[in-house]
């Protein structure tokens, strides 16, 4: 392929007097795109008659060309391949509309452009109803990624502790949140160790009820 | 998703010989012959309006009927030509001059007969009118749809609008031949209304109808 020689698709005409190069020579010779297009025209004429080998060669040769056409209009790489396949399927479906007495290029480009534009419209339509998955929608296994949830749980816990009776609340704060020992807590609050134990036990029980937690940790 | 080389393989495997389309003008002539046959059958079953010879001598009637017939012929040629991928879409403008002439004769008829516009047609007359429209319009539309089914993947809406115009113009011609113009303005409005309706239907549902026929044919 010589991609340098075409920018706007093969708006070429058959060169007068150009001998139809034999179809056995599949290489697009140094004559350039005009000769290649003539080859394609011959392949298609044969394919219409049921020549599978010519058809395979034609499809294989036009595929990179279709890809370059699509890549110019379609931004997304996988969508480019979709457009190429769509164009190939359409060419297959309407191959009887090609008239071998006319140049092949305009026929090919018209079909390809049609399918590319249709595909862009279709993707535009579905794209309008979709939301892309951005980085901020992603979540990770690492605990730091889920601070949000943890924060809301902490608030729920704080509110639950707040709603306890004063004796139980102080016991929980001192023993569980500030992690004081029973002796220290007894000294600070003036409650007995036994009373602190009972208050903590009751507080944990009612917290469990409030938070609806089933876990056995205390 | 199937890879492109696999797709090419499967297309090659399905590359049965196809029959090339005849030149578009020849196909348009085929459709017009079918339309002529329809009109001939109608002429045998219905009777041609008794005052046809008389009316044909009136210039505005003769010009109107010639314009609608020309619109039908040109729109048919335009549809068949524009349905081929590599033909210019400017072909669709082909029936425009005849269409303008036709519409202006309708407008002129309306203007002249405005005063003689009778408030309503007898009900049976309108029903017969409608039956005639359906009898000519439906088979012609179906024939056009099937003959142009390859346009489903290419330019369905444009081609359907043009095809609708061809059917409408032929139908209107039939109406002027078979139906008595006692309340000519109303019949003319009917004509024009049908044309607009058919073209609008072609534009709105052409894409869907084409793809339906195209897939049913496979």
The pair of structure tokens assigned to A52 is: 């599978």
Q: Is pLDDT at A43 greater than 60 in this prediction? A: yes
Q: Is pLDDT at B70 greater than 90 in this prediction? A: yes
Q: Does B57 touch chain A (CB under 8 A)?
A: no
Closest residue to A60, CB basis, from B1, B8, B214 = B8
Distance from the B163 Cα atom to the nearest Cα atom in chain A, whole angstroms: 18
Q: What pTM, to 2 d.p., does this model score?
A: 0.64
The pair of structure tokens assigned to B11 is: 């297309």
Residue B103 is predicted with a pLDDT of: 81
Distance from the A135 Cα atom to the nearest Cα atom in chain B, whole angstroms: 26
Subunit contact A59:B11, Cβ cutoff 8 A: yes
Q: Does A32 touch chain B (CB under 8 A)?
A: no
Q: Does B216 touch chain A (CB under 8 A)?
A: no
Which tens digit of pLDDT belongs to each residue from B73-118?
Answer: 999 999 999 888 888 888 888 999 988 888 888 777 666 655 555 5
Q: Does A115 touch chain B (CB under 8 A)?
A: yes
SS3 A56: helix
Distance from the A136 Cα atom to the nearest Cα atom in chain B, whole angstroms: 29
| Cα B140 from Cα B157, distance rounded (Å) | 18
Q: Do the beta carbons of residue A92 and residue A47 sit within 8 Å?
A: no
The pair of structure tokens assigned to B138 is: 């439906």
Q: What is the number of other CB atoms lying within 10 angstroms of the CB of residue A134?
A: 7
Q: Is pLDDT at B4 greater than 70 in this prediction? A: yes
SS3 A112: helix
Residue A184 is predicted with a pLDDT of: 86
The pLDDT confidence band at residue A27, using thresholds 50, 70 and 90, is: very low
Residue B78 is predicted with a pLDDT of: 93
DSSP structure class, residue A31: T
Sequential DSSP letters for chain B: ---HHHHHHHHHHT----PPPPPHHHHHHHHHHHHHHHHHHHHHHS---TTHHHHHTSHHHHHHHHHHHHHHHHHHHHHHHHTSTTS-GGGGGTTHHHHHHHHHHHHHHHHHTSTT--S---HHHHHHHHHHHHHHHHHHHHHHHHHTGGGGGT-HHHHHHHHHHHHHHHHHHHHHHHS--TTHHHHHHHHHHHHHHHHHHHHHHHHHHHHHHHHHT-
Residue A13 is predicted with a pLDDT of: 42
Which tens digit of pLDDT belongs to each residue from A163-212?
Answer: 888 888 888 888 888 888 888 888 888 888 888 889 889 988 888 888 87
């Amino acid at each position: 392929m010589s991609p340098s020689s075409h920018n706007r698709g093969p708006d070429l005409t058959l060169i007068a007097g150009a001998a139809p190069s034999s179809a056995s020579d599949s290489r697009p010779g140094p004559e350039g795109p005009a000769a290649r297009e003539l080859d394609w025209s011959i392949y298609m004429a044969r394919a219409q008659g049921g020549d599978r080998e010519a058809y395979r060669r034609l499809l294989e040769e036009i595929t990179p060309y279709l890809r370059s056409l699509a890549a110019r209009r379609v931004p997304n790489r996988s969508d480019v391949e979709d457009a190429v396949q769509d164009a190939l399927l359409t060419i297959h479906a309407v191959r009887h509309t090609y008239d071998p007495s006319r140049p092949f290029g305009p026929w090919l480009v018209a079909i390809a452009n049609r399918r590319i534009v249709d595909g862009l419209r279709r993707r535009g339509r579905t794209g309008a109803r979709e939301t892309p998955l951005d980085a901020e929608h992603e979540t990770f296994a690492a605990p730091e990624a889920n601070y949000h949830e943890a924060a809301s749980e902490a608030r729920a816990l704080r509110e639950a502790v707040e709603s306890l009776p004063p004796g139980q609340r102080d016991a929980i704060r001192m023993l569980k949140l500030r992690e004081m020992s029973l002796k220290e807590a007894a000294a600070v609050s003036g409650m007995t160790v036994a009373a602190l134990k009972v208050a903590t036990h009751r507080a944990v029980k009612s917290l469990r009820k409030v938070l609806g937690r089933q876990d056995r940790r205390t | 998703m199937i890879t492109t080389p696999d797709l090419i393989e499967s297309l090659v495997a399905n590359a049965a010989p196809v029959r090339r389309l005849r030149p578009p003008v020849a196909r348009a002539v085929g459709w017009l012959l079918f339309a002529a046959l329809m009109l001939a059958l109608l002429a045998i079953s219905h009777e041609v309006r008794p005052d046809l010879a008389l009316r044909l001598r009136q210039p505005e009637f003769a010009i109107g009927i010639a314009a609608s017939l020309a619109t039908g012929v040109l729109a048919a040629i335009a549809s068949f030509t524009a349905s081929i991928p590599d033909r210019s879409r400017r072909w669709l403008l082909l029936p425009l001059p005849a269409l303008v002439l036709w519409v202006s004769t309708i407008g002129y008829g309306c203007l002249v007969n405005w005063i003689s516009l009778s408030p309503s047609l007898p009900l049976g007359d309108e029903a017969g009118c409608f039956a005639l429209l359906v009898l000519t319009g439906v088979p012609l539309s179906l024939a056009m749809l099937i003959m142009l089914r390859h346009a489903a993947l290419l330019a369905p809406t444009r081609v359907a609008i043009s095809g609708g115009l061809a059917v409408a113009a032929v139908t209107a011609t039939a109406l002027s031949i078979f139906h008595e113009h006692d309340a000519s303005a109303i019949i003319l409005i009917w004509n024009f209304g049908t044309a607009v309706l058919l073209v609008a239907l072609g534009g709105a549902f052409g894409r869907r109808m084409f793809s339906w026929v195209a897939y049913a044919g496979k």
